[in-house]
Amino acid sequence: MKQVTFIAIAVTALALPGAARAQQWNSAGLPQSALAAPKTNAAPAPKRDIAGIWDAGGTGIAGPGHDSAPWTDWAKQKAASYKPGNGPRAVYENDINDPLSTVCDPTGFPRQVLYETRPFQIVQTANQVLILYMFERRWRVIWTDGRSLPKDPDPRWYGYSVGRWEGDNTFVVNTIGTDERSWLDNAGNPHSGDLKVEERYHRVNHDLMELTVTLDDPKAYTKPWTPRNKMPLTLAPANLDLMEMICSPTEVMDFRKNISDRTNNK
C-alpha cells in the first residue's frame, strides 16, 4: 500500500504544473505581491501600440517542433545531417548536434518565435520597433521608417525586418535574408536563405495579443505554412524584471560532461 500511496503522490506532483504552477518570476528587489495582482484589464487595445512585456506561457515552448509543409529534395538533403533532440527524428541525447543547444550558436530567426517563445519586451521608437527576447537575451530591430527590404542581402542570423500597421491594432512584420545555418525548431526542420517570414501581431485588447507566423520558403517547402496561428500572448506586469536565459558554452560543456555524454546506447 505504501508503494501505491507513493505512486499516487508522485503522480499528483506531476499533475500539478497545469493546475497550480506558480506564475512567479524572480524580480529582484520587488515583492512578489507587486507582480501577483490579477489582470482584469480587457479594455480596448490602445491604437498602434504593442509596447510591453508579452508572455506566451507554456504555449510558446514548442519543444517537439511543428508539423511542417512537405520538404523539398533540397530540404531533405539539408536536414539529413541534422540530429535533433525532439520530434519524430529525435536521437539520443549524446548524438544531438543542434547548433543552438550543443555549441550555443544563435537561435536565429524565425526559430526565436517558433521554438521557445519565452517572454519578450516590445519597445516602440519613432522609426523602429525593437523586440527584446528573454531567451538568449537577444533583440531584433524592425524598421518602421518606410524603407524597403534590401535586395539580395548578406545573410544574418536574425535577417532584415520591416514593419507596418494594418489598421490600428495589427502590426505586420516582413523578414528576409536569414542565415540558413539556423534550424527552424527543435525538431530539426531546415530553412533556406530564400525564406520569407510574415509575423502578424494582432492586439485583441489591452491585455491580449495574438501572433501568427507564416513561412514561405519554396526552396525548402512545397508550399507556405503557418506554424504559429493566433498564438495568445498575455501582457505581463510592466515592472517585471525578466530573468537571463543564456546559452553559455561553459555551462553546456559541463552539462555534456555530466549528463549528455553518458547517455549513449552504444
Partner 1 sequence: MKATLVGVCLALLSVLAISAPVFAHHGTASFDTTKDLTLKGTVTDWIWANPHCFLKFDAKDETGTVRNWAVEVSNPTDMTKRGWARSSFKVGDMVTVNLQPVKNGAPIGRLKTVWLPDGSALGANGPPPAPAAPPQ
Site for partner 1 in 23-82 (CB under 8 A): 23-26, 58, 61-64
Binding segment (CB under 8 A) for partner 1, from list 172-180, 205-213, 230-238, 243-251: 243-251
Determine the residue type at 32: Q
Q: Any idea what DSSP says for residue 2? A: H
Q: How far is the CB of 57 from partner 1 (least distance, A)?
A: 10
Q: How far is the CB of 6 from partner 1 (least distance, A)?
A: 4
- The neighbouring-strand residues paired with 121 are 53, 132
Regarding 87 and contact with partner 1 (CB under 8 A), the answer is yes
| Closer of 54 and 201 to partner 1 (Cβ) | 54
Nearest to 149 by CA among 211, 217, 197, 216: 197
Q: How far is the CB of 158 from partner 1 (least distance, A)?
A: 20
- The neighbouring-strand residues paired with 178 are 156
| Closer of 106 and 177 to partner 1 (Cβ) | 106
Q: How far is the CB of 42 from partner 1 (least distance, A)?
A: 24
Q: Any idea what DSSP says for residue 95? A: G
- What is the CB neighbour count within 10 angstroms for residue 30? 14
Q: How far is the CB of 208 from partner 1 (least distance, A)?
A: 21
| Closer of 20 and 126 to partner 1 (Cβ) | 20
Which residues fall within 8 angstroms of residue 249, CB to CB, at 6 or more apart? 103, 104
Among 6, 34, 103, 123, binds partner 1 (CB under 8 A): 6
Distance from C-alpha of 188 to C-alpha of 81, rounded to nearest angstrom: 9
Q: How far is the CB of 21 from partner 1 (least distance, A)?
A: 4
Q: How far is the CB of 96 from partner 1 (least distance, A)?
A: 6
Is the peptide bond prior to 218 cis by the omega test (within 30 degrees of 0)?
Answer: no
Among 66, 78, 111, 118, binds partner 1 (CB under 8 A): 118
Q: Please report where in the chains the cell 518602421 appears, as a residue.
A: 144
Distance from C-alpha of 139 to C-alpha of 132, rounded to nearest angstrom: 4
Site for partner 1 in 201-240 (CB under 8 A): none
| Closer of 94 and 214 to partner 1 (Cβ) | 94
Cite the beta strand spans of 106-159 per DSSP E.
120-124, 128-133, 139-143
Which residues fall within 8 angstroms of residue 157, CB to CB, at 6 or more apart? 106, 107, 108, 109, 178, 179, 181, 182
Binding site for partner 1 (CB under 8 A): 1-4, 6-18, 20-26, 58, 61-64, 85-87, 90-94, 96, 101, 115-116, 118, 134, 186, 243, 245-248, 251-252, 254-255, 258-259, 262-265
